[in-house]
Structure 1
Amino acid sequence: MQLLALGLNHHTAPVSLRERVAFPFERIEPALAGLKELWQNSGPERRAEAAILSTCNRTEIYCVTADAAAGDRAIHWLSQFHQIPTAELVPHLYALPQSEAVRNAFRVASGLDSMVLGETQILGQLKDAVRTASEAGALGTYLNQLFQRTFAVAKEVRGQTKIGAHSVSMAAAAVRLAKRIFESIETQNVLFIGAGEMIELCATHFAAQHPKSLYIANRTIERGEKLAESFVGKAIPLSALPNILHKFDIVISCTASSLPIIGLGAIERAIKIRKHKPMFMVDLAVPRDIEPEIGRLTDVFLYTIDDLGAVVREGNTVRQSAVAQAEAIIETRVKDFMQWLEARSVVPVIRDIHAQAETVRQTELERAKRMLRRGDDPLDIFDTLSLALTKKFLHGPTLALKTASSNERNHLIQFILEWFRHSGTSDK
């Protein structure tokens, strides 16, 4: 069985491509079904496994299959699923086999590969991805073991290092950028579009700056109202945005919409009504909520998730000292997992050995039963049974020694001696 991680992230691909490769939540189960069908159609293997991790910063497919061409098939499938030419996709993809896939999972869960070093949100996103794959029936022994160990490694890294110390986040970066545009956030009107975890985090940071007003716009007004209450703000429906956008100096958006929510025309009208007073806008969504053309307007300061990533990296120095320690923990755990994986690879061989031994045992046992029914002396039967079993089990090693080349014989002798040493103590 081959373990593979295939994907792209903020290191290898721009947001314009990441948003096209992202899997909306409702499409992940159908995608997993397509992957399982892909492996089943590639050969007789029926135990293939798959999981999909899709966030703002990365899309990764983890799979276990006996297909030797798993990487090429997965790339072709991903290209077809998202209708992106393979030639456009391939330069930004990474395909990580075996231990590299394990190391990648451990590093991602521990926050070592995040745009914000040591952030914890990715661990929850990975757990959600595993839960979805499990519910879709796409997980098996190998990926279950990989992800359980992944979660344990992330816990160990956070418990034994300072990788999560001195919190640096996208929300903090957004506030820092806003302060570059406005003298004080206390005099600004702030609008948040969406009501998810990222928006809640951003609202927490901006609320701490005591803005003039704080609004939450959400498709579900009840959820928006609940979040707005936490910050003594107000909730409005998304449908109201075109008429009131001009009232806001700061706009932060992060929804799960597959199409932009704010278009160029709406912002052009808003800027005209504002008499060209500047607007600060942050688009944290993938796919993007705000049309990128808006960034060309003179009076609009539009930042994407990649722009915030650059700001975040400025404050990451404090966490760097913990990286080497975290990497050392991960390397140890990668070796542990690969030892488990190698042990699993001999399970079919062990099963065959036991089956052959059982066949020999049953054959000799039936012969002993016939002797017993015939009235032979039980002691003679025991002697004959034990002698027959001994001869048959020694036949293979003896033949191997006789037919081995001179180079092989010394290794074979050491192996057989070690085998008998363990055999003699197996019942203790």
Structure 2
Amino acid sequence: MSVWALGLNHTTAPLDLRGRFAFALDQIAPTLQSLRSSFSSGRHPQVEAAIISTCNRTEIYCASEHAALDHTFGWLAQSGGVAPALLRSHAYTLHDGEAARHAFRVASGLDSMVLGEAQILGQMKDAVRAAETAGALGSTLNQLFQRSFAVAKEVRTATEIGAHSISMAAAAVRLAGQLFEDLRKTRVLFVGAGEMIDLAATHFAAKEPKSIAVANRTLERGEKLASRFGGEAMRLADLPSRLAEFDIVVSCTASTLPIIGLGAVERALKARKHRPMFMVDLAVPRDIEPEVKALEDIYLYTVDDLAQVVQQGQANRQAAVAQAEVIIDAGVQNFMHWLGQRGTVPLIQQLNAQADEWRAAEMARARKLLAKGESIEAVLEAMSRGLTQKMMHGAMAELHAGDAASREQTAQTISRLFLRKER
């Protein structure tokens, strides 16, 4: 069995390219179906697959009898509408042990923009559940991910990898504090109501801004989040007309196209008499048109712009990283040992089937002897002798076949298998 992975993340690909390969959670099932169907015409009919898609990465994990990295690459390039050569220049590929190591590092927060952050673990678990629901997760990938989660838990328990980490949301608050002297006098708008916005709202609410509003496509979900912070909810359709009211805008939706355009921001600035606006676009693909950044009095930050801020204090965690890598090394070795054993499963099944066939034949023979009136002692003796002869026949034949060197090698193997008590 072979395991392979390919992907692109915040260290290998720019934001706009990552945006082409971003899959919302409800898109995972049909996307996995498309991927697995693409294998059916070739020599990989039984391919396990899972897709992890976050604002910082998109990764595909697969398992099958034979690796098919080139095919997977071609499918991903086509799904994103880019040339394979362009994708290859920004992507990474991993096989077997390295694929496992990467999955373990991602789950443990070692491969994140925010070193040690815990959010990715929840996102991985969501991705695994989606793959399982789609029927795309087999025993091999299930083992890979369950071991990833176990390793991540051990890393967080045994090390201080999460200590001093600065989340994306905390970084946004820090940058906003550099622009506005007193965040308590600001009005904050959150666009979207997902996990990232929930985290950002929690951090900003701690600064006690003058007001908080949540704009979401589904008003009910927006109201639920806004009520936690004593804020108001508004429909996404009302965003352009109300944008000027807010000093801070934080957006993260699953939209495939920008929802805050250049024109809407220009009108908002005019209505604000060019009082500055702080904007954070945490979405991949972008929620805010990139041209907005060029406007005077607009301070727009994307997930990539926050990288320098969130990595502050990373040196303090390097000792924890070294400890985490030791735990991950052990996890990789255990997984590869398990994967290697999987290769012997067909042989074990054949051996069991052969043994059952011999046992059935000797049982049938014993029943006939008993029916003829043979004594139980004689029947048991005959049955045990028959089973022993069947078991030893192949070994005995091999000991008398071949040249001297092959017989010597066979003798060592048979000795190891049959004479263990005498050693």
Equivalent residue, structure 1, for 2:352: 354
Q: CA contact under 8 A between 1:199 and 1:253: conserved in structure 2?
A: yes
The alignment yields a C-alpha RMSD, in angstroms, of: 2.3
Amino acid at match of 1:131: R
**Cα separation, 1, equivalents of 2:76 and 2:421:** 51
**1:10 is matched with which residue?**
10
Give the match for residue 298 of structure 2: 300
**1:301 partner SS:** strand
Amino acid at match of 1:416: I
Residue in 1 aligned with 2:267?
269
Corresponding residue pairs, total: 423
Where does residue 398 of structure 2 map in the other structure? 400
SS at match of 2:153: helix
Aligned to 1:178: 176
What letter corresponds to residue 318 of structure 2 in structure 1?
Q
1:259: how far off? 1.2
1:29 alignment counterpart:
29
Quickly say closer, same or farther: Cα 1:312–1:382, change in 2 above 3 A: same
SS at match of 1:306: coil
Following the alignment from structure 2 to structure 1, what is the Cα–Cα distance between the partners of residues 282 and 44? Answer: 43
Q: Name the % identity.
A: 56
What is the 5 A alignment of 1:268-287? Answer: 268-287=266-285
Q: CA deviation at 1:84?
A: 2.2
Q: Answer yes or no: is the 8 Å Cα contact 1:3–1:64 preserved in 2.
A: yes
Deviates more, 1:183-192 or 1:409-418: 409-418
In the alignment, residue 214 of structure 1 is paired with which amino acid? Answer: I
Q: Given the alignment of the two structures, is residue 61 of structure 1 paired with residue 60 of structure 2, yes or no?
A: yes
Specify the alignment match of 2:143 in structure 1.
Answer: 145
> Does 2:418 align with 1:416?
no
Distance 2:137 2:365 in 1: 46
Q: Give the distance between the partners of 2:120 and 2:380, measured in 1 at CA.
A: 64
Are 2:106 and 2:112, in contact at CA under 8 Å, matched by a contact in 1? yes
Name the SS for the 2:215 alignment partner: strand
Give the 3 Å change call, closer, same or farther, for CA 27–226 of structure 1 in structure 2. Answer: closer
1:17-60 deviation digits (Å, cap 9, x = unpaired): 111101122221111112222333223744x3111111111111
Task: Write the distance in 1 (CA, Å) between the matches of 2:227 and 2:370.
Answer: 87
After TM superposition, the structure 1 = structure 2 runs for residues 327-406 of structure 1, keeping only pairs within 5 Å, are: 327-373=325-371, 381-404=379-402, 406=404
Higher alpha-carbon deviation: 398-407 or 173-182 = 398-407
Q: Structure 1 residues 391 and 282 mapped into 2: Cα distance closer, same or farther (>3 Å)?
A: same
Question: What is the TM-score of this pair, normalised by structure 1?
Answer: 0.92
Matched, 1:50 2:49: yes
Aligned counterparts, 1:101-180, within 5 A: 101-180=99-178
Per-residue deviation, 1:93 = 1.7
Note if contact 2:161-2:317 (Cα within 8 Å) is conserved in structure 1: yes
Amino acid at match of 1:95: T
Contact 1:168 1:316 in 2 (8 A): no
Distance 1:407 1:118, change over 3 A: farther
Secondary structure of the residue aligned to 2:306 is helix
User: 1: distance between equivalents of 2:318 and 2:226?
Assistant: 36
1:39–1:67 Cα contact (<8 Å) kept: no
Preserved contact between residue 42 and residue 67 of structure 1 (Cα < 8 Å): no
Q: 1:388 to 1:236 in 2, by over 3 A?
A: closer
Q: TM-score, normalised by structure 2?
A: 0.93
Gaps of at least 5 residues in structure 2 are: none
Give the counterpart letter for 2:31 in structure 1. Answer: A
Q: Is the 8 A contact 2:165 2:313 kept in 1?
A: no
Supply the AA of the counterpart residue of 2:343.
S
Q: Give the Cα–Cα distance (whole angstroms) in 2 for the partners of residues 273 and 160 of structure 1.
A: 54
User: Per-residue deviation at 1:81?
Assistant: 2.2
